[in-house]
């Protein structure tokens, strides 16, 4: 970062040698002050240059500060003055605020927020949010929701600050639903259908002749709270009411699943079904592995207890996931080539059922 006339110009950090060459070409009374963000290793290198008396310091002076703006070390030719110290302190405060923003910190004082707003005045709110979220995505943070923290004020005009709490609730609700979906295979559409069918509630715009689906049926605010409670999302009744009230923009007193999915940006029903199926398959595989380790496994289809040496069930010929699998000592009459899918012994070259040739017959050699 280069600080010129108390302004900040983003750019690459120039080497200190290059900076000293620039200083030599400038009038002593008009030399530019540069402020550079350093890593810990770079700062230690500069400290070594300070204490070793590097020749470059004959034409340049420098002072090192920590992220909080406190001085750490300086060169012997650095003579602080009241005016310079005041300017340096201001510039260091701005640099510290910038570093906190790049480091994805979310808690700022009012003074730091004012400085960041001044520094980012030419950057749109959408660009600020996009940059912060991109930095947040490549860092390992325990907290990823920033809507209820002070930094949220940098991403929206003051007129929208009163709506931030609702935005935070929406973000938290979406994150909680996705968590239980992926970790516990809880289908939000199926959970909603149970409440909509049980209540028999319908929208005030529906007539007696209208055929509705569970997704289009409405539930009351109270039922919405129980809907969230059934998925164990951890929201208080007051927060559930606030979420329901803002989802119901028409204020008809009823909420549909389509409205919930739209407002919370939930996956579609097809995407949810795919996630649930994948979770169930992984669960079956884990159970099968546990059974194999104990010397047996139970068939999902016929419940026959098979030895761990058998990769398919000896009764129904299904594998550990419950799907039909070909035993290792047989070959399948390939359905891709019009076969009947019958499992034939490897001693046969033609299917016992339909008479089709064995798929790999052309590569079999008879001795």
CA-based nearest residue to 43, from 58, 23, 28, 63: 63
Q: What is the pLDDT of residues 26-65, one digit of tens each?
A: 554 455 667 777 888 888 888 888 888 888 888 788 888 8
Percentage of the chain modeled with pLDDT above 90: 11
**Smallest Cα–Cα separation from 129: which of 108, 111, 147, 148?**
147
Question: Which of 64-68, 177-181, 193-197 has the largest mean confidence?
Answer: 177-181
Q: Closest Cα partner for 176 from 139, 145, 135, 219?
A: 145
* pTM of the predicted structure, to 2 decimals: 0.46
- On average, the pLDDT of the chain sits at 77
**pLDDT for 143 beyond 60:** yes
Q: Is the per-residue pLDDT at 260 higher than 90?
A: yes
Question: 326-334 long-range contacts, Cβ below 8 Å, gap at least 24?
Answer: 331/358, 331/359, 331/360, 334/359
Say if residues 124 and 164 touch (Cβ distance below 8 Å).
Answer: no
What whole-number percentage of the chain has pLDDT above 70?
76
């Amino acid at each position: 970062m280069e600080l010129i006339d108390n302004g900040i110009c983003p750019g690459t950090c120039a080497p200190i040698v290059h900076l000293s060459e620039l200083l030599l070409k400038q009038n002593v009374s008009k030399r530019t002050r540069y402020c550079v963000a350093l890593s810990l290793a770079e700062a230690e290198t500069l400290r070594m240059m300070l204490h070793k008396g590097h020749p470059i310091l004959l034409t340049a002076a420098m002072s090192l500060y920590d992220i909080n703006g406190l001085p750490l070390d300086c060169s012997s030719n650095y003579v602080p003055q009241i005016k310079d110290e005041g300017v340096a302190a201001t510039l260091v405060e701005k640099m510290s605020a910038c570093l906190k923003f790049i480091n994805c910190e979310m808690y700022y004082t009012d003074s730091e927020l004012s400085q960041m707003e001044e520094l980012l005045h030419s950057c749109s709110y959408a660009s600020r949010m996009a940059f912060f979220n991109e930095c947040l995505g490549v860092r390992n943070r325990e907290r990823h929701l920033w809507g209820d923290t002070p930094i949220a004020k940098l991403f929206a005009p003051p007129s929208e600050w009163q709506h931030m709490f609702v935005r935070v609730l929406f973000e938290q609700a979406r994150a909680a639903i996705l968590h239980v979906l992926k970790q516990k295979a809880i289908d939000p559409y199926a959970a909603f259908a149970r409440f909509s069918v049980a209540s028999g509630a319908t929208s005030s715009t529906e007539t007696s002749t209208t055929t509705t689906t569970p997704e289009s049926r409405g539930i009351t605010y109270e039922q919405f709270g129980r809907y969230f409670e059934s998925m164990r999302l951890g929201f208080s009744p007051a927060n559930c009411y606030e979420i329901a009230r803002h989802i119901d923009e028409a204020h008809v007193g009823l909420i549909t699943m389509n409205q919930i999915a739209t407002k919370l940006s939930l996956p579609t029903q097809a995407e949810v079904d795919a996630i649930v199926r994948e979770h169930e398959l992984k669960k079956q595989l884990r159970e099968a592995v546990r059974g194999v380790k104990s010397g047996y496994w139970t068939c999902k289809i016929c419940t026959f207890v098979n030895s761990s040496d058998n990769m398919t069930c000896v009764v129904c010929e299904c594998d550990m996931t419950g799907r039909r699998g070909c035993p290792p000592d047989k070959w399948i009459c390939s359905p891709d080539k019009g076969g009947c899918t019958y499992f034939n012994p490897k001693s046969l070259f033609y299917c016992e059922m339909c008479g089709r040739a064995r798929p790999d017959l052309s590569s079999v050699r008879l001795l």
